[in-house]
Amino acid sequence: MYAVVVSGGKQYRVSEGSQVVVDRMQDEVGAQIEIANVLMIGGDKPQVGAPNVPGAKVLATVVAHESGEKTEYMRYLHRRRTRTQRNGRAKLTVLQINGIEV
């Protein structure tokens, strides 16, 4: 069985026992959380919500907080001859999916 959930405005397909990397959450490492924004539950009898599946939730544990890969970008203004180079790292959270409840 799998589920499609929304976290941080993005959709993720999760299944029981898998790990998923999402945008940074405020919860502490080791905290038990539940995600109530379940768009779809797949398997033998798929259920599609409008927009959410009623009564469905995904239980997860916060495993770690990490930084993503470094991204660099450059901006060049034509005729002004100015160059701006910046970089940054995305702040991420790793979730361990414990169960899917319908």
The pLDDT of residue 102 is 86
The pLDDT of residue 10 is 96
Per DSSP, the residues of 24-44 read --SSPTT-EEEE--EEEEESS
The pLDDT of residue 77 is 94
Judge whether residue 20 has pLDDT over 90. Answer: yes
What are the angstrom distances between the C-alpha of 10 and each of 23, 66, 78? Answer: 9, 18, 35
The pLDDT of residue 9 is 94
Q: How far apart are CA 18 and CA 87, in angstroms?
A: 31
Q: What average pLDDT does the chain have?
A: 95
The per-residue pLDDT for range 74-84, each reduced to its tens digit, is 999 999 999 99
Output the CA torsion 84→89→90→95 (10° steps): 170
